[in-house]
C-alpha cells in the first residue's frame, strides 16, 4: 500500500535521510523506531510531502507521490497525524474533525450531513471528544489533543495513516490509552505506519518493524525477530 | 462647545472611520493566511474605484456596478498575490514588501495614464440629503458606508464560520503545515485571501468615492489611516478594527472642526506613534515593522 525506496531528504544542505526504504502492506501496522535524531520524523514528513525528498520514490497505492504538495498527497489517501499533534487550536473540536475529511466533502454547504457517519464513528471511538465538540481544540489536554489528531486523521478514511510519536509528552496512563486505540485501529484493518519512542510498546502492537539509525534503516524484521536481535535489545529494548 | 455639534461631528467622523476599518480588515485577511499584506492596498482601492466609475459612465446601474467593481478588486488582488507575494513566500523571504509597493506604484502610473490626474466626482443614486437619526443629522450616503462595511465584513465572517472552505481558511491561519496535511492547499487559500482582500478594498473605494472624489492620490491619506488602525487594533480582530476605525474617524472629525482642517491628519499619526511607542512588538510589529 505504501512503499518507500531509497529516500533522501534533508533541511538545507544537511541531508538527514540517506536512503531510507520501507514497505507497509495493506491492513498491517508497521512500526518505525530508533533514537532521537535518527530521522524518523523526517521520514514521515518526506512521505507526506511536508518536506520534498531530493531523491527516491514514495509509492502510495500504486501511484508515485514524491515531490507532490502535501495537500495533494493527503487527497490521494494519506493521513498524517504529525508529531506534536498540530490540532487547529482556535477552531472547535468538531471543526477540526470536519477538516480531517476536507478532501471528500462539499466546500460550502451540506458538509456536516455528509460527514455525520464518520463523526459518529470517531465520537464512538473517543467519547471525550463528543462532550467537547464545541470547545476550542487548543483548550483540550494533551491526551485529548492526541485523540483529536488521530480522530482527525481517521475522518479522511485514509488508505494509509501515519502516526508520529502519538505518546509524546503524555502521562503513562494516557499512553496506555493511546496504544489501546492503536490496537483498535489495527483491528479495524487500517493500514498504519507508527513512529514511536516507546520501542517496546510499539513492537507489541506492530506486525513488522524497522529500526532507523543515522538516516537509514539499520535493522528490520517482525517484532519477534527484533526482540531476539542483540543490537536492538541493547539499544532500544534494554 | 455645543454637545450636539460634538455628537454630530463624532458620528459623521466615525462613519468615515469605517472606511479605514474596512481597508485594515483587508490587511487582516491576507495576514491571517500568509503573514503578508499588500503595501499597495491603497492603489488597489483607487484603481477599483476608477474601474467602477468607468462602469458607471458606461451606463451600468449602481447595483450592477458594485459587483463588477468587487470582481475587479478580487482579480487585482489575485494579480498582486501572483506577481508580488507567492514567489517571495515560497522562498520564505520578505520580498513581498518591496514587490507589493512596486505593484502599487505600477497601478498608480497606470491609473494616471488611463484616467488622468484630476480628481473626479463619483455619481451615485444614494441621496446626500441629511436625515435625522437619534438627534444627529446623517446623510444616506454616510449610512451607505456603514451598511456596506458591515455587510461585507458580516458576509466574510459568516463564510469563515459556516462553510467548510471558510473553516479551511481558518485552519491555514492557525497552522499552515497541518492544514496541508488535511488536503487543504495553502497556496489556494492564500489566493482566496488576496481575492477577498481585493474585493474588500474595492468596496472601500466604491463607498468612499461619492463622498470624497476619485483621483490617483485619493488613497494615500486613507491608507495611512488604515495602517494606523491596523497597528493599533492588531491584525487578527475584525471587531478591533471597526472599533478603532470609528474612534479614529470621530477624533479626526473633531480635530478638524475645533483645531482647523489642517489638523485632520494629526490624530491618525499620533495614534500610530503612540501605538508603536507603547506596543512596539504589537501583532503587526513582528513580521513587518521590525524588518521594513
Q: Give pLDDT tens digits for A105-161.
A: 999 989 999 999 999 999 999 999 999 999 999 999 999 999 999 999 999 999 999
CA distance A141 to chain B (A): 18
**Is residue B74 domain-resident?**
yes
Task: Give dist(CA B179, CA B238) in Å, integer.
Answer: 22
* Secondary structure (3-state) at A104: helix
Alpha-carbon dihedral sign for residues B76, B77, B78, B81: positive
Asked whether the beta carbons of residue B182 and residue A103 sit closer than 8 angstroms, the reply is: yes
For A34, which DSSP code? Answer: E
Query: Cβ contacts (< 8 Å) between B183 and chain A: which residues?
Result: 71-72, 74-75, 102-103, 156
Q: Give pLDDT tens digits for A177-194.
A: 999 999 999 999 999 999
Asked whether the beta carbons of residue A88 and residue B180 sit closer than 8 angstroms, the reply is: no
Question: Is A19 part of the contact surface with chain B (CB cutoff 8 Å)?
Answer: no
**Is residue B66 domain-resident?**
yes
Asked whether the beta carbons of residue B182 and residue A82 sit closer than 8 angstroms, the reply is: no
CA A23 to chain centre: 14
| % of chain A surpassing 90 pLDDT | 85
State residue B286's pLDDT score: 43
Task: Give dist(CA B162, CA A228) in Å, integer.
Answer: 55
Asked whether the beta carbons of residue A69 and residue B167 sit closer than 8 angstroms, the reply is: no
Task: Give dist(CA A6, CA A17) in Å, integer.
Answer: 9
Asked whether the beta carbons of residue A107 and residue B165 sit closer than 8 angstroms, the reply is: yes
Residue A69, pLDDT above cutoff 80: yes
Task: Give dist(CA A32, CA A30) in Å, integer.
Answer: 7
Interface predicted TM-score (ipTM) of this complex, two decimals: 0.93
Which of A33-37, A224-228, B234-238 is predicted least confidently?
A: B234-238
**Is residue B148 domain-resident?**
yes
Task: Give dist(CA B237, CA B232) in Å, integer.
Answer: 11
**Is residue B244 domain-resident?**
no
**Is residue B113 domain-resident?**
yes
**Is residue B247 domain-resident?**
no
Domain interval for residue B227: 19-234
Q: What is the arrangement of strands in the sheet containing A63-64, beginning at the earlier edge strand? A: A14-24, A2-11, A55-60, A63-64
**Is residue B4 domain-resident?**
no
| Confidence band of A18 (pLDDT split at 50, 70, 90) | very high
Query: Cβ contacts (< 8 Å) between A109 and chain B: which residues?
Result: 163
All 3 cell numbers of residue B71? 470582481
Residue A70 has its nearest CB partner, among B163, B173, B181, at B181
For every one of its 292 residues, what pLDDT tens digit does chain B have, with 9 covering 90 and above?
677 888 888 999 999 999 999 999 999 999 999 999 999 999 999 999 999 999 999 999 999 999 999 999 999 999 999 999 999 998 888 999 999 999 999 999 999 999 999 999 999 898 888 888 877 888 999 999 999 999 999 999 999 999 999 999 999 999 999 999 999 999 999 999 999 999 999 999 999 999 999 999 998 889 989 999 998 888 888 888 999 999 999 999 999 988 988 888 888 888 888 888 887 554 444 444 433 3
The string of DSSP codes covering chain B is --HHHHHHHHHHHHHHHHHHHHHHHHHHHHHHHHS---TTHHHHHHHHHHHHHHHHHTT--HHHHHHHHHHHHHHHHHHHIIIIIHHHHHTT-SHHHHHHHHHHHHHHHHHHHHH-SS-B----SS---EEEETTEEEEHHHHHHHHHHHHHHHHHHHHHHHSHHHHHHHHHHH-HHHHHHTT--HHHHHHHHHHHHHHHHHHHHHHHTTTS-B-TTHHHHHHHHHHHHHHHH-SS-HHHHHHHHHHHHHHHHHHHHHH-GGGTTHHHHHHHHHHHHH-TT-TTIIIIITT-
Phi, psi (rounded to 5 degrees) for A21: -140, 135
All 3 cell numbers of residue A138? 487548543
* Secondary structure (3-state) at A156: coil
Q: Using CA coordinates, name the residue in chain A closest to B186.
A: A71
State residue A148's pLDDT score: 97
Specify the number of domains making up chain B.
Answer: 1
Q: Count of CB atoms within 10 A of residue B125's CB? A: 10
Q: Could you tell me which residues are beta bridge partners of residue A161?
A: A79, A192
State residue B280's pLDDT score: 59
Asked whether the beta carbons of residue B182 and residue A152 sit closer than 8 angstroms, the reply is: yes
Query: Cβ contacts (< 8 Å) between B177 and chain A: which residues?
Result: 50, 70, 82, 86
State residue B98's pLDDT score: 95
> The cell 516507546 sits on which residue?
A198
Residue A99 has its nearest CB partner, among B167, B186, B187, at B167
Which CA distances in Å does A189 have to A59, A159, A182, A183, B51?
20, 10, 11, 10, 59
State residue B1's pLDDT score: 64
| Confidence band of A102 (pLDDT split at 50, 70, 90) | very high
CA B252 to chain centre: 18
Phi, psi (rounded to 5 degrees) for B117: -90, -10
Q: Give pLDDT tens digits for A195-223.
A: 998 888 999 999 999 999 989 999 999 99
**Is residue B245 domain-resident?**
no
Task: Give dist(CA B191, CA A90) in Å, integer.
Answer: 22
Amino acid at each position: 500500500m505504501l512503499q518507500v525506496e531509497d529516500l533522501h531528504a534533508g533541511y538545507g544542505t544537511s541531508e538527514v535521510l540517506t536512503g531510507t526504504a520501507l514497505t507497509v502492506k495493506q491492513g498491517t501496522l508497521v512500526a518505525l523506531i530508533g533514537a532521537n535524531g535518527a530521522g524518523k520524523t523526517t521520514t514521515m514528513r518526506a512521505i507526506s510531502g511536508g518536506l520534498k525528498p531530493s531523491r527516491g520514490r514514495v509509492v502510495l497505492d500504486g501511484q508515485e507521490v514524491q515531490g507532490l504538495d502535501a495537500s495533494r498527497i493527503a487527497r490521494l489517501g494519506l493521513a498524517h497525524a504529525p508529531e506534536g499533534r498540530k490540532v487547529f487550536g482556535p477552531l472547535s473540536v468538531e471543526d477540526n474533525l470536519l477538516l480531517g475529511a476536507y478532501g471528500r466533502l462539499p466546500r460550502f454547504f451540506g458538509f456536516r450531513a455528509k460527514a455525520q457517519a464518520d463523526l459518529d464513528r470517531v465520537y464512538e471511538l473517543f467519547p471525550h471528544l463528543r462532550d467537547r465538540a464545541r470547545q476550542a481544540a487548543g483548550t483540550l489536554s494533551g491526551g485529548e489533543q492526541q485523540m483529536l489528531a488521530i480522530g482527525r486523521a481517521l475522518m479522511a478514511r485514509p488508505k494509509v495513516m501515519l502516526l508520529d510519536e502519538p505518546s509524546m509528552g503524555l502521562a503513562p496512563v494516557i499512553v496506555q490509552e493511546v496504544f489501546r486505540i492503536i490496537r483498535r485501529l489495527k483491528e479495524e484493518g487500517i493500514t498504519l505506519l507508527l513512529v514511536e519512542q516507546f520501542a517496546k510498546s510499539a513492537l507489541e502492537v506492530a506486525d513488522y518493524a524497522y529500526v532507523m539509525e543515522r538516516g537509514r534503516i539499520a535493522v528490520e524484521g517482525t517484532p519477534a525477530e527484533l526482540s531476539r536481535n542483540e543490537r536492538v535489545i541493547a539499544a532500544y529494548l534494554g | 462647545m455645543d454637545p450636539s455639534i460634538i455628537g454630530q461631528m463624532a458620528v459623521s467622523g466615525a462613519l468615515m472611520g469605517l472606511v479605514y476599518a474596512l481597508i485594515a480588515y483587508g490587511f487582516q485577511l491576507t495576514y491571517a493566511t500568509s503573514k503578508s499584506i499588500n503595501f499597495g492596498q491603497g492603489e488597489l482601492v483607487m484603481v477599483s474605484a476608477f474601474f467602477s466609475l468607468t462602469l458607471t459612465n458606461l451606463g451600468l446601474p449602481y447595483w450592477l456596478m458594485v459587483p463588477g467593481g468587487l470582481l475587479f478588486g478580487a482579480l487585482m488582488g489575485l494579480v498582486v498575490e501572483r506577481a508580488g507575494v507567492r514567489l517571495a513566500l515560497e522562498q520564505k523571504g520578505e520580498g513581498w514588501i518591496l514587490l507589493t509597493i512596486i505593484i502599487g506604484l505600477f497601478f498608480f502610473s497606470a491609473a494616471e495614464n488611463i484616467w488622468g490626474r484630476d480628481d473626479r466626482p463619483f455619481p451615485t443614486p444614494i441621496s446626500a440629503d441629511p436625515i435625522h437619526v437619534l438627534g444627529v443629522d446623517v446623510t444616506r450616503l454616510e449610512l451607505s458606508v456603514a451598511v456596506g462595511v458591515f455587510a461585507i465584513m458580516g458576509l466574510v465572517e459568516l463564510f469563515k464560520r459556516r462553510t467548510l472552505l471558510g473553516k479551511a481558511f481558518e485552519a491555514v491561519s492557525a497552522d499552515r503545515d497541518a492544514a496541508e496535511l488535511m488536503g487543504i492547499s495553502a497556496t489556494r487559500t492564500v489566493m482566496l485571501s488576496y481575492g477577498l482582500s481585493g474585493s474588500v478594498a474595492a468596496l472601500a473605494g466604491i463607498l468612499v468615492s461619492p463622498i470624497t472624489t476619485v483621483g490617483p492620490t485619493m488613497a494615500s491619506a486613507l491608507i495611512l489611516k488604515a495602517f494606523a488602525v491596523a497597528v493599533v487594533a492588531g491584525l487578527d480582530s475584525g471587531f478591533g478594527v471597526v472599533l478603532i476605525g470609528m474612534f479614529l474617524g470621530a477624533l479626526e472629525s473633531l480635530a478638524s472642526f475645533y483645531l482647523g482642517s489642517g489638523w485632520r491628519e494629526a490624530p491618525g499619526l499620533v495614534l500610530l506613534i503612540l501605538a508603536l511607542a507603547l506596543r512596539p512588538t504589537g501583532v503587526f510589529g513582528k513580521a513587518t515593522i521590525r524588518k521594513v
